[in-house]
Each structure stands twice: as C-alpha cells, then as structure tokens.
A = this chain, B = another copy of it.
Amino acid sequence: MDYLFYQPDTATGDHALNEDEAAHCARVLRKKPGDLIYITDGKGNLFTARLTQVSLSACRFEVIARNTAPQACPFITVAVSPVKHPDRFEWLIEKCTEAGAHRIVPILCQRTQKSQLRTARLQRVAISAMKQSLRPCLPEIAEPIHFNDWINSAEEGRRYICTATGQEPPEWIGKIAKATKITLVIGPEGDFSEEELEFAASRGFEPISLGPHRLRTETAAVAATLFVSALGALNKPKG
C-alpha cells in the first residue's frame, strides 16, 4: 500500500471517490479501471477495492475486501489550548494525527491567547496526515470549549494534566500499559493557572511532566501523544 484514499461512507455503500481524490487517482497515480486501490473511511476500516471507472471527475470502485484495523493503542483524547500562531496549531493537528490521537479538543484556558481556529482547514490537515501515515483512523476535532466546562464533562479513563512539576516520565509511563482510554491535557504558552491545576486535580486529573526540558504547547501535545501511543500499545501490529 503506497497511497490511501479517504471515503467516509464506503461502508454504507458510497463507492465513488470525491473530486479531488478522483483527480489525484487519474492524473497523478494514473490508475486504470481494474487497478486495486486502498481506501479508509477514517473509522478504523481499511478497504481493498477495484476501480470500475476512472476519469478526472469521477472514479468509482467495488469493494473486494474489508479489514478492520485492530485497536493498536488506547483511545487517546488530547485536550490542548490553542496557540497564537495558526500554523503551529495546524502542525499540532498533523503530528497528533500521525502519532495516534483519536480526538483533539481545543480548550480555552485562563492564559490562552486569542487565536483564530479554522476548523474546516484543521479537518483537511487531519485527513491529509491520516492518509500520509496510512492510519485508517481520522481524529475528531471538537469545537473549542472552556477549560472548566471541559474538565467537568471529560470522559472516564486515565486522565493526565501536563505541567512542569508533575510526576516524572519514568513514574507515570509504567501505568499506562493497560489503559484503554487516556486523556491528556496540555496548557497554553503561559501554562495553566494554579486555580486550573487545582480544579483538574479535584476532578481526578494526575499532574505529569514530559521530561526535563521546557516544551512549547504544540510540542508538548505531540510528545504526550507519542509517549502514550508508543508505550500504551495494547497490541502491536508490525510494519
């Protein structure tokens, strides 16, 4: 598999690529009717399909096999403060998708700097990162929500809030191996307020550190996701 197409409704019978994907399939990959392609619906399914029609505006296919990817990692929710520069947040979306996040929630903290979140653009970045990494799972990008509201509504599972004074990595990393749901909370450039840290602690969020160096918000989000997905793997597909 060298290229992964995205068609969210493949499982329910929509067997045509969208216009951009069709153009790519016909013009760049120069596929012909009868060729095999790989398609994901972003929901954990990987389809092997045979092209039945190929043109710049329309590519149709029939599904010949469906594989549901094993859940390699715990379900990872990354709740993270937006950052000032939109391109850094786009980068965060790209890398967290690649690293295995399942849901990304922009949380508005006391020290969050105002920034413009272009949700449609972030969705496109996530789709592109999913295709690039051949990972059949598209993370959900939630609407921004205030920190306290989100803390109050956060799901069960292991819940960690990242802060310089938290538990060191060797202490907390051993505990994630069997967790099926992990939530990671990452603050703004100016860090969480004491009040926010206390509120999160009162709701069962454990403070953790990501190592000895000060990391930018977007780096911390990616670091946390990488740690959890590399070390929390439930079963480990190769290749």
What residues make up the interface of A, taking CB atoms closer than 8 Å to B? 72-73, 91, 95, 98-100, 132-135, 164-165, 168-170, 173, 177, 210-216, 219, 222-223, 226-227, 229-231, 233, 236-239
Q: Are A133 and B213 in touch, CB under 8 angstroms?
A: yes
Give 8 closest A-B pairs by Cβ, nearest first.
A211-B230, A72-B212, A169-B230, A223-B226, A133-B214, A100-B213, A212-B233, A211-B229
Q: Are B165 and A170 in touch, CB under 8 angstroms?
A: no
> Shortest CB–CB separation between residue A132 and chain B, in angstroms?
7
Q: Are A73 and B214 in touch, CB under 8 angstroms?
A: no
> Shortest CB–CB separation between residue A41 and chain B, in angstroms?
18
Bound together, the chains give a CA A216 to CA B95 distance in angstroms of 9
Chain B residues whose CB sits within 8 angstroms of the CB of A230 once the complex forms: 169, 210-212, 223, 227
Chain B residues whose CB sits within 8 angstroms of the CB of A236 once the complex forms: 168, 212
Bound together, the chains give a CA A100 to CA B169 distance in angstroms of 15
Task: Please pick, from B99, B132, B164, B210, the residue contacting A223 in the complex, using a CB distance under 8 A.
Answer: B99
Between A91, A99, A226, A239, the greatest number of chain B beta carbons within 10 A of the residue's beta carbon is seen for: A226
> Shortest CB–CB separation between residue A235 and chain B, in angstroms?
8
Q: Are A164 and B239 in touch, CB under 8 angstroms?
A: yes
Chain B residues whose CB sits within 8 angstroms of the CB of A135 once the complex forms: 213-214
Residue of chain B at shortest CB distance from A177? B170
